[in-house]
Amino acid sequence: TQLLEQSPQFLSIQEGENLTVYCNSSSVFSSLQWYRQEPGEGPVLLVTVVTGGEVKKLKRLTFQFGDARKDSSLHITAAQPGDTGLYLCAGNSGGSNYKLTFGKGTLLTVNP
C-alpha cells in the first residue's frame, strides 16, 4: 500500500505570514493532486502536477512536484483568513483515478 505523509498535521498562523505544507512518499506517482476542503463542504481540486520538477502557481499558492515524483509541496504567500481549510494531497499511482492515495491532510487556520 502506498502512503502519502503530509506535514504538518495542524498549522495556525497570522494573516500575512507565509507557510509551506509538505506531502512525501517513498513511492513514485504519475501525478499528484492538491485539494482544499472548507468546513461543511467536500474537497475541491486546486491543482494537478504531472512532470517531475514542475512548478504551478495559483495566485498566492505555489505547488511543486519533486524531481523524482515522490513528493510535493504547497507554499502560500501572505496567507489570508480565506485560505483556512484542510489541504489534502492525493497521489495517482496507476494512471487511473481509481488509484488515488490521499494524505491525511493539513488543517490550516489563518487568524485575522
Partner 1 sequence: DVKVTQSSRYLVKRTGEKVFLECVQDMDHENMFWYRQDPGLGLRLIYFSYDVKMKEKGDIPEGYSVSREKKERFSLILESASTNQTSMYLCASSLIDRDNSPLHFGNGTRLTVT
Q: Residue 13 and residue 102: Cα distance in Å, rounded?
A: 24
- Report the C-alpha dihedral over residues 25, 53, 18, 57, rounded to 10 degrees: -120
Whether 2 and 91 have beta carbons less than 8 Å apart is answered as yes
Task: Look at the chain and count its residues.
Answer: 112
The span of 13-21, 59-67, 69-77, 99-107 binding partner 1 (CB under 8 A) equals 99-107
Of the residues 7, 41, 81, 109, which one makes contact with partner 1 according to CB under 8 A: 41
Is the Cβ of residue 19 or residue 107 nearer to partner 1 in the bound state?
107
Is the Cβ of residue 22 or residue 102 nearer to partner 1 in the bound state?
102
Of the residues 28, 44, 58, 78, which one makes contact with partner 1 according to CB under 8 A: 44
Query: Which positions from 48 to 67 touch partner 1 by CB under 8 A, shown as an x/- string?
Result: x-x-----------------
Q: Write phi, then psi, for 105 (nearest 5 degrees).
A: 100, 155
Q: Residue 52 and residue 64: Cα distance in Å, rounded?
A: 9
Q: Does 40 bind partner 1 (CB under 8 A)?
A: yes
- Smallest distance, partner 1 to C-beta of residue 17, A: 25
How many angstroms separate the most distant Cα atoms in the chain? 41
Please give the residue ranges that form the binding site for partner 1 (CB under 8 A): 1, 31, 33, 35, 40-45, 48, 50, 88, 90, 92, 95-98, 100, 102-105
